[in-house]
Amino acid sequence: EHLSYITIRGARKRDHPQSFSYHTPWWKAYHVMASYFTRLSLVLSQGEQVNHVLLIEPTTTAWMYQAHSSQRARLSDIGNRFQDLVLSLEQAQIEYDIGCEDIIARHGSIKDFMLKVGKSKYDMVVLPPLTENLNAKVMDLLEAYLKAGGAVICCGTPPERIDGRLSERGKKVSQHSGWKRLDPVTVPGKLLIRPTGLTILRDEGDKGILFHHRRQMDDGQFLFLVNTSINAPS
């Protein structure tokens, strides 16, 4: 969160992010970083990112604990477990999208054996740990998706609530052959065996923190690699 202050008089906010403006002593050199990210953003917005794994964000589950101060620990646990799964997928170089229940409900459909959300198509859906609730429309789509031949990885017990109400639908749909329950630790390995057209091999002693982003172009692909470690090369 950053901005350029008009004035710093008065206490109008509880947070005071850094100001980017000509008042700063490094302002004349700021264009170096700005130009770099301008060029990088241009490249990373070309073509399209094509991912076939959809990780559903446990938003409606978290909402159930948002207003209960005595249950904030559960809310934090939901967020932390989700973040751990996201980081493990990133570190394993798994290409995926994070799915919002509301967007899936409004724009989702079934195409052949795939779950289609807008223009994107997915042949693997992942439910993160501690997913206790799903939007009813999302559950409708998951049921139809499994019947069409789709695959779901559930990192725990199936959702026990639909739209906040206790329901047997999660338990019933989990009996489908396309529904697999896995320990979150094993999910990256399970997804790695799927053909994606990309394999990133690293040296055994590589201690870097490597992430990637791939774009599909009309005439080829663009692969962006970044090592976020400040100590170890990759």
The model's pTM is 0.88
pLDDT at 67 (0 to 100):
77
Q: Count the Cβ atoms, other than its own, within 10 Å of residue 195.
A: 7
Query: Per-residue pLDDT for 204 more than 80?
Result: yes
pLDDT at 197 (0 to 100):
80
Confidence of residue 191 (pLDDT cuts 50, 70, 90): very high
Question: pLDDT per residue over 131-167, tens digit each?
Answer: 999 999 999 999 999 999 999 999 999 999 999 999 9
What fold characterizes domain 53-192? Rossmann fold (3.40.50)
Q: Which residues contact 54 (CB under 8 A, 6 or more apart)?
A: 96, 97, 99, 115, 117, 120, 122, 124, 125, 126
Domain ranges of the chain: 53-192, 200-234
Give the type of residue at 145.
Answer: Y
Question: pLDDT per residue over 81-100, tens digit each?
Answer: 999 999 999 999 999 999 99
- The pLDDT > 70 percentage for the chain reads 96
Question: pLDDT per residue over 37-54, tens digit each?
Answer: 999 999 999 999 999 999
pLDDT at 14 (0 to 100):
65
Mean pLDDT of 104-110: 98
- Asked if 178 and 207 count as a contact pair (C-beta separation under 8 A), the reply is no
Query: Per-residue pLDDT for 1 more than 60?
Result: no
